[in-house]
Chain A
Amino acid sequence: MTILILIAKVLLAITVIVLALYGLRHYIFAFSRLALRKPRDMMELTGFVMPRTSVLVPMHNEEAVAADVLQALVECDYDWDRLEILAINDRSQDRTGEIIDEYAAKYRIVKAIHRSNGKGGKGAALQLATNQASGEILLMFDADYVPGPSMVKQLVAPFCDPQVGAVMGRVVPHNTGTTLLAALLGLERAAGYQIGQQARYNLGLAPQFGGTVGGVRASALKAVGGWDPKSLTEDTDLTFRLIARGWKVAYVNRAECYEEVPESWEVRRRQIARWAIGHTDCLHRLWTSVLRSKFLSLAEKLDASFVLACYWTAPILVMGWLASLFLFFSPEKHVAATLSVALAFAGYQIFGNQATFFELGTAALLDGKARSVLLIPLNLFNFFASTAAITRALARYYFGKIFGSRGPRWQKTKRYRENGNGNHFRNGNGNGNGNGNGGSKGPFSQGPNGLYTYNTP
């Protein structure tokens, strides 16, 4: 019994330390972002010649949204002589291929790539398109995104710094008014981008390239070995291979693009499980190279380790909670460790998956989202659901690694938009966020409640 109590105390101590470190990191980010000194805005540079750019749009059964994204891209204000749009039909079984062919026939900058066999997944599709791309810069958009007219310029501008290997823009959910889950995920995304990504950029750490609403320098991509078709999170994989080789990742907070977040818990569970497994797989493959990199400072290595191991926090939390439960029934129930883990357990992650509640609040404050911030207490449910989903996914992942079962397969996240035909953009009401940022536009307008509404044609 004494040994078991000792083990429980050690597990509790580990849990408290790990969660406290993660919590501290997020508070540093929130304070840093709160006291932002304006970072360099590459869009203000003059004399920079915009390079030839290829925009890659992988699509797998995206007939509902394919026309929208392609129409938005051909309407962007980038010089057409320096732009190509590679629309990739990745083994689609619906009308995606036809839509792409229509656009390729209509606009000279659109090139259709049809992929009918090979390994599934976004990484494999991107690799195929990269081989055919002629641009010095490769931008990526998922098919359900709606880039604004200035988006390509905003994302290309930071590449004037030759050290920059990848650029990331801000992703803003547009369907936050549909369900409670979508609203909670809207808060979480805001914290992740408005606070986490921007603070990391300001502090000289590495923001994460997210695989969409972002870009990569073709030469940098080639130097690190291209896309990894086996990875479930090819974006995380590429980010850490780039920074380990000395490339910088830039973040452009003003380059806002709208996305759909899961509206149901089942879709959310699958999405976060995929992220957790892909991310943790990157941890196993890339952690050593990040730690050994001679290009990264100690702070960068430390932060990169935190990012790579972020999904471990869920099983660690469960472990600490079970240990505290054990202590509660032991003769040592009065030990303050029980209290401290409960505090850490409650205090850190409980109101956001990868963001503390302080981060959520700060992001909502800076975004001016007064009403949505009142939902923060309800994030409790999101926390329990996410923790369970991540723990289960990682248990399956490690079980598969130990017993050699087949690895998880890439799964497309469900789309909620329907009947896209490319005409939405001509009906657009302003710039989408009411702030004249030249970011995403078109189908979204802002209602009096501060939420964005999708305008059906």
Chain B
Amino acid sequence: MVVRIQLSYGPSGRPVRWKGSPRRVFIYPHRSVRFLRIATPRILLAVLTAGAILAFLVINNAELLAAHQRICQVLLELMGIPLRGVLNVDLFPGLAQAPVADAPVMMLEQAPGRFAILFGAAVTILTVVFQRVLLARGFVVFLGTLLAVTAVVTAVRPSIQFGTVEFSQIWLRGEMLVWLLLPCFSAFAFMLIHPVGILPVAWTMLLEGFSFCWSAVRLAFCLAVLHFTGILFIPLLWFALGILADMVYLMVFYSVVVYWSARKSWGVRAQ
């Protein structure tokens, strides 16, 4: 008797789903000897995906930066922050100038009392979190250090304070690097571990799009904080909401892809 088995997936050269027979096609390997075959077409697909996204970014960088600025500006206007205008700043050689919002910011000399109250409130909140959330103690120390250093430096040398244009320039330089690096990383990371052919391409593009939009939202938030509270929280936001936040959403995407992949690769019983 011939039993016909229809394989629906062939990840790593191993079928994981089948139709036509209740009998399992293979016994999933013990975890100590499992591996995923990194096939050449999969690597080529990763290279092509990363290359296409990078080319799109480089060719359309002026339009993308303008779109980023528009999202940011809309959010600032929704928050009721008055803009003095939009200025163009240099980011990297070879790339177009980036339009950034110019808004007034609170300076220490104008409102030292407000500055002190904000600092005291932030220290109180961090202290409470430090005492009550053991999990976050290391992170709170990190944030507290940033806050304390900023307060001391600003009090000693008020000239280090800067406005929204300069901060946007710093922000966009960092984000530009992230946007350029993300496709290379995500294409390979997703493509090599995900057993289902075209899905990793979708994940890679989704991550890039999310990164772009989320960056504009975070920048708008930082500019609003700069407008209302001055430089006091800016290093904290730059180090915690900047590149670090980029890594957090990258981790979230990555863990979701691995989650899917782990379910597909070995079957439910192997988990």
- A associates with B: yes
A368 to B252, CA, bound (A): 18
Q: Does A425 have its Cβ within 8 Å of any Cβ on chain B? A: no
Interface contact B258-A364, CB-CB below 8 Å: yes
Q: How far is the CB of A333 from chain B (nearest CB, A)?
A: 6
Q: How far is the CB of A167 from chain B (nearest CB, A)?
A: 14
Q: How far is the CB of B67 from chain A (nearest CB, A)?
A: 22
Interface contact A253-B32, CB-CB below 8 Å: yes
Name the contact of A437 in the complex, choosing from B32, B141, B181, B256 (C-beta under 8 A): B32
Q: Does B266 have its Cβ within 8 Å of any Cβ on chain A? A: yes
Interface contact A170-B251, CB-CB below 8 Å: no
Contacts A254-B33, A265-B134, A380-B248 given; does A369 touch B181 at CB 8 Å: no
Interface contact B263-A357, CB-CB below 8 Å: no
Q: Which residues, 8 to 54 on A, are CB-close (under 8 Å) to B?
A: 31, 33-38
Interface contact A369-B271, CB-CB below 8 Å: yes
Contacts A364-B262, A368-B271, A370-B259 given; does A342 touch B160 at CB 8 Å: no
Q: Does B254 have its Cβ within 8 Å of any Cβ on chain A? A: yes
Interface contact A375-B255, CB-CB below 8 Å: yes
Name the contact of B35 in the complex, choosing from A35, A375, A386 (C-beta under 8 A): A35
Q: How far is the CB of A331 from chain B (nearest CB, A)?
A: 9
A365 to B146, CA, bound (A): 36
Q: Does A315 have its Cβ within 8 Å of any Cβ on chain B? A: no
Q: Which residues of A contact B166 (CB under 8 A)?
A: 333
Q: Does A377 have its Cβ within 8 Å of any Cβ on chain B? A: yes
Contacts A34-B35, A346-B246, A350-B244 given; does A339 touch B258 at CB 8 Å: no
Interface contact B254-A366, CB-CB below 8 Å: no
Flag A339-376 by CB within 8 Å of B: 1 or 0 each. 11011011100110000011001101111111101111
Interface contact B31-A329, CB-CB below 8 Å: no
A361 to B190, CA, bound (A): 11
Q: Which residues of A contact B136 (CB under 8 A)?
A: 381
Q: Which residues, 231 to 271 on B, are CB-close (under 8 Å) to A?
A: 235, 238-239, 242-244, 246-248, 251-252, 254-256, 258-259, 261-263, 265-266, 269-271
Name the contact of A362 in the complex, choosing from B30, B149, B193, B256 (C-beta under 8 A): B193
A388 to B243, CA, bound (A): 20
A70 to B262, CA, bound (A): 36
Number of cross-chain contacts by CB at 8 Å = 166
Q: How far is the CB of B13 from chain A (nearest CB, A)?
A: 12
Interface of A is mostly: helix
Closest to B239 in A: A342
Q: Which residues, 159 to 208 on B, are CB-close (under 8 Å) to A?
A: 160, 162, 166, 169-170, 173-174, 177-178, 181, 189, 192-193
A362 to B136, CA, bound (A): 26
Interface contact B138-A385, CB-CB below 8 Å: yes
A369 to B169, CA, bound (A): 42
A347 to B251, CA, bound (A): 10
Q: Does A402 have its Cβ within 8 Å of any Cβ on chain B? A: no
Q: Which residues of A contact B32 (CB under 8 A)?
A: 170, 194, 198, 253-254, 256, 437
Q: How far is the CB of B161 from chain A (nearest CB, A)?
A: 10
A386 to B137, CA, bound (A): 11
Interface contact B270-A339, CB-CB below 8 Å: no
Q: Which residues of A contact B247 (CB under 8 A)?
A: 346-347, 350-351
A197 to B39, CA, bound (A): 24
Indicate the member of B173, B174, B243 with the most A CB atoms within 10 Å: B243
Contacts A170-B32, A194-B31 given; does A365 touch B252 at CB 8 Å: no
Q: Does B59 have its Cβ within 8 Å of any Cβ on chain A? A: no
Q: Which residues of B contact A376 (CB under 8 A)?
A: 251, 254-255, 258
A31 to B242, CA, bound (A): 29
Contacts A365-B193, A368-B265 given; does A35 touch B181 at CB 8 Å: no
A235 to B244, CA, bound (A): 35
Q: Does A180 have its Cβ within 8 Å of any Cβ on chain B? A: yes
Contacts A333-B170, A342-B239, A343-B243 given; does A377 touch B248 at CB 8 Å: yes
Q: Does B213 have its Cβ within 8 Å of any Cβ on chain A? A: no
Interface contact B170-A325, CB-CB below 8 Å: no
Q: Which residues of A contact B31 (CB under 8 A)?
A: 194, 366-368, 433, 435
Interface contact A374-B193, CB-CB below 8 Å: no
Q: How far is the CB of B198 from chain A (nearest CB, A)?
A: 19
Q: Which residues of A contact B142 (CB under 8 A)?
A: 384
Interface contact B30-A254, CB-CB below 8 Å: yes
Q: How far is the CB of A322 from chain B (nearest CB, A)?
A: 9
Interface contact A365-B265, CB-CB below 8 Å: yes
Q: How far is the CB of A437 from chain B (nearest CB, A)?
A: 5
Q: Which residues of B contact A386 (CB under 8 A)?
A: 138
Q: Does B135 have its Cβ within 8 Å of any Cβ on chain A? A: yes
Q: Which residues of A contact B256 (CB under 8 A)?
A: 374
Q: How far is the CB of B238 from chain A (nearest CB, A)?
A: 7
Q: Does A3 have its Cβ within 8 Å of any Cβ on chain B? A: no
Interface contact B251-A342, CB-CB below 8 Å: no
Contacts A170-B32, A368-B266, A369-B271 given; does A361 touch B258 at CB 8 Å: yes
Q: Does A436 have its Cβ within 8 Å of any Cβ on chain B? A: yes
Q: Which residues, 122 to 176 on A, are CB-close (under 8 Å) to B?
A: 170
Flag B33-77 by CB within 8 Å of A: 1 or 0 each. 111111000000000000000000000000000000000000000
Q: Does B228 have its Cβ within 8 Å of any Cβ on chain A? A: no
Q: Which residues of A contact B265 (CB under 8 A)?
A: 365, 368
Q: How far is the CB of A144 from chain B (nearest CB, A)?
A: 22
Contacts A329-B153, A350-B247, A377-B252 given; does A435 touch B30 at CB 8 Å: yes
Contacts A336-B173, A343-B177 given; does A381 touch B139 at CB 8 Å: yes
Interface contact A358-B36, CB-CB below 8 Å: no
Closest to B181 in A: A343
Interface contact A437-B251, CB-CB below 8 Å: no
A265 to B31, CA, bound (A): 29
11 A-B residue pairs with CB within 8 Å: A34-B38, A333-B162, A342-B243, A367-B31, A368-B266, A370-B271, A373-B259, A381-B138, A384-B142, A434-B269, A450-B271
Extra contacts besides A180-B135, A380-B248, A380-B251 (13): CB < 8 Å: A36-B33, A38-B33, A339-B243, A343-B174, A351-B251, A358-B254, A361-B189, A365-B265, A368-B31, A375-B255, A388-B137, A434-B269, A435-B30
Q: Give 4 closest A-B pairs by Cβ, nearest first.
A: A384-B138, A36-B35, A253-B32, A385-B138
